[in-house]
Structure 1
Amino acid sequence: MGLSTSANLRHPPLGRRLRLGFVGGGRGGLVGEWHASGARLSNHWDIVAGALSSDPANAAASARDWCIADDRSYGTYGAMAAAEAAREDGIEAVTICTPNWTHFDMASSFLNAGIDVILDKPMVNTLEDAQALVKLQRETGLVLAMTYPYTYHAMVRQAKLMVAAGMIGKVRQVHVEYVQDWATGPADPEFKGAAWRRDTAKVGRASATGDIGTHAYHLLKYVTGEDVAQLRADFHVCGAAKAMEDTAFVNVKLANGAPGLLWITQAAPGNFCGLRLRVFGETGALEWDQEFPEQLRFAPLDAPVQILTRGTGSGMLPEAESLVVLPRGHGEALSDAWANLYAEIGLAVAARRSGQRPNDMGLHLSDVAEGAKGVAFVHACADSHEAGGGWVGLAAEA
């Protein structure tokens, strides 16, 4: 019998949880905690191994925090890949939540060891590494899933399904913004993440554009079903002086010819995690705000505006309902989106390990090709900015 996504999303289909390892995510790593919480809440994973920090003391302390046995807490990701691949009860997938310049070598090591990979964004720094990782994933046939959690909010999937069903007609324009304020003032010397995010030797050709712009691009592409054909980008420093951009304005032309605008900044005082989407079509519009994730504004042309609220029924489409866990009035948030993401990855890994094709299951995974598109987006923005803001195309599909 084939695995199905029609049952409760958080029911492990193999009758057990899958074994998961972590690279990175130790004490002091907020992103790692998001990943780990999502994996646990999904009910698809047991975290059993880790190389949680390059600092041995932090790695050991973090392993104790996560109840990882001493013999499965590793000093390096290479030792972890080799040891876990040799165990009968070795990990079945690994989450890599380390800075992006480390991703290629780490992901390659685990794929070569026969272990499925869950990878934070952006996938890698260079187009060459992106193409090499796509090639390796296709050669191994393993799962490589990117973690874009915002598209796992039920109301984002509702928006995607409404666009696909023609409920706003052909997409005519789209506006996405991801607006934060943490880079407005001088860098906090205790915030190590700020330092490496502004180091061209580590993050490559863009800072804010790679860090949060990739989320904005992915959200646009996911909801509209249209990729960006061309773009023009301007990079700016709008906060305290720094070596790389904290702000980008990106005009886009979608594959269907529609225009769009992405505003990306980490230097807008009073904004925290303002990922907002507005899609305008021939017969209506949709608006969604990550800081108020349970509501979707639907404005049919020449008809009353509707506020759709996460839950079951009352305008929710069945495929979006599959991401709903709690009834209306009991708030779901980003932690639930992370859990939905890890549940769908769990279904994909379970399918592959039981001899099935994950892509035949109707899942919404962002795979290695989607990761490569994110890298192409960052490079196209950098190309345009460096050429004085001219129009450029995105790199061809890997």
Structure 2
Amino acid sequence: MAEFPLAGRRLRLGVIGGGQGSFIGKVHARGARLSGRWDVVAGALSSRPQVAQESGRAWLLADDRIYTDYRVMAEREAARPDGIDAVAITTPNNSHHAIAVASLEKGIDVISDKPLTTTLDDALDLVRRQKETGLVFGVTYAYAASAMVRQARQMIAEGALGKLQQVHVEYFQEWALTPPSEAGAGAQWRVDPAIVGPTFTTGDIGTHCHHLGAFVCGRPVTAVRSEFHTLGPPKALEDTAFMHVRYEGGIPGTIMISQVAPGAHCGLRIRVFGDKASLEWNQEEPELLHVRRFGEPACVLTRGEGAGIGTHAARFVHMPRGHPEALSDAWGNLYEEFAIAIEARRLGRTLPEGLLAYPTVVDGALGVKFIEAALASSQSGGAWVGCSLPS
């Protein structure tokens, strides 16, 4: 197995967003630290000066590396001999494009939360800028860095299921049953079209389903037919959607999502059926991969060394079986891949083909195209709409 190269040094990360009351910014920072390849050294954790200062000091950032403006942070960090190697964008959706542009223009590699942008034009602009600069641009579809997701991907690529026949991905949550007016600020902006873009649940968790299915199967989604619903408390955008999708090669599938499903916490599940076998992974039981072969007893693979675990999953095995690993570890895995890619770029090092599989800016743009296609389909009464990027 091709091993991950040893780190030459810890890379320096700056974080945009993540201040008081933010959830996802802290997740990024913890994932980076857990990877063992990053130090978080700078941040524009809030545009509010007092919150930025208080949050930055709580993160143990030096006073001169606590910022309130991402543009100032990009300029000053790019000028420092010990400036940041990459920036993590953990802000609401409508700011991702501008922050990414400011960073790319200063030669700073980018790691962005999803969805990548609120419009396809902005997403394609980032694809173009990444190609022109050659900088690394990762997108944090963190479920794809779970060890057993990598196991599923490798098994499918090696033909363990036979010819793929159907793919089903679902993600159910309950938190949006709380009326937006009674929820916290983080919940309120997620249902504001001016901030999140044209969808709520499709952009928030539907993009995870879209990416996970394509990633595990190694085939992009080519078309979608969707139906949007608002089933919970009144809001401007959908909180539930049911979709038929087609993967490359005409493989049919479904995506079902809702954030108003009582009793559901983070119920992301994928099931893939071939003509010889099927597999199933549930992120609430991330250590397990269910494999069922036609006419044979069901099998459950558990994360760990050996016993059927492939090389791609083994790189992300950090503890022996029985010592659980979960989503926090997946974030660490993802930041490890980002670090390896960024260090290799900076050193001019060529990595073995297939060593890394982190989501890229193109994956992020495909997610934005999926959002727009699903919305257009629902608005048209359920017509099939293409999900491919323009050439």
TM-score bin, normalised by smaller chain: over 0.9
Determine the structure 2 residue equivalent to 1:86: 79
Equivalent AA in structure 2 for residue 21 of structure 1: G
Equivalent AA in structure 2 for residue 119 of structure 1: S
SS in 2 for 1:183: helix
Alignment equivalent of 1:378, drawn from 349, 352, 371 = 371
Equivalent AA in structure 1 for residue 348 of structure 2: G
Displacement of 1:359 in angstroms is 7.9
SS in 2 for 1:232: strand
Alignment equivalent of 2:307, drawn from 305, 314, 317 = 314
Displacement of 1:12 in angstroms is 4.6
Determine the structure 2 residue equivalent to 1:161: 154
Identity of aligned residues (%): 51
Alignment equivalent of 1:136, drawn from 129, 144, 151 = 129
Determine the structure 1 residue equivalent to 2:282: 289
Q: Does the C-alpha gap of structure 1 residues 266 and 101 become closer, same or farther in structure 2, counting only changes over 3 Å?
A: same
SS in 2 for 1:279: strand
Q: TM-score, normalised by structure 2?
A: 0.97
Equivalent AA in structure 1 for residue 146 of structure 2: H
Name stretches of at least 5 consecutive residues in structure 1 with no aligned partner. none
1:1-398 to 2 correspondence within 5 Å?
6-7=2-3, 9=4, 12-14=6-8, 16-357=9-350, 360=353, 362-397=355-390
Contact 2:230 2:240 in 1 (8 A): yes
SS in 1 for 2:177: coil
Residue by residue over 1:234-290, the C-alpha shift from the partner in whole angstroms, topping out at 9 and shown as x without a partner, is 100111111110000010111111211100110000000000000000100000000
Contact 1:12 1:44 in 2 (8 A): no
Equivalent AA in structure 2 for residue 48 of structure 1: V
Contact 2:214 2:221 in 1 (8 A): yes
Contact 2:2 2:355 in 1 (8 A): no
1:397 and 1:27 map into 2 onto residues whose CA distance is 39
2:97 and 2:352 map into 1 onto residues whose CA distance is 23
Contact 2:93 2:196 in 1 (8 A): yes
Contact 1:184 1:238 in 2 (8 A): no
Displacement of 1:216 in angstroms is 0.5
Displacement of 1:231 in angstroms is 1.0
Q: TM-score, normalised by structure 1?
A: 0.96
1:358 and 1:107 map into 2 onto residues whose CA distance is 25
1:273 and 1:62 map into 2 onto residues whose CA distance is 28
Name stretches of at least 5 consecutive residues in structure 2 with no aligned partner. none
Contact 2:214 2:247 in 1 (8 A): no
Displacement of 1:189 in angstroms is 3.5
SS in 1 for 2:160: coil
Between the two proteins, the alignment pairs up a number of residues equal to: 391
Contact 1:369 1:397 in 2 (8 A): no
2:389 and 2:352 map into 1 onto residues whose CA distance is 22
Displacement of 1:171 in angstroms is 1.1
Contact 2:222 2:388 in 1 (8 A): no
1:385 and 1:92 map into 2 onto residues whose CA distance is 42
Q: Does the C-alpha gap of structure 1 residues 358 and 238 become closer, same or farther in structure 2, counting only changes over 3 Å?
A: farther
1:165 and 1:96 map into 2 onto residues whose CA distance is 35
Contact 1:380 1:395 in 2 (8 A): no
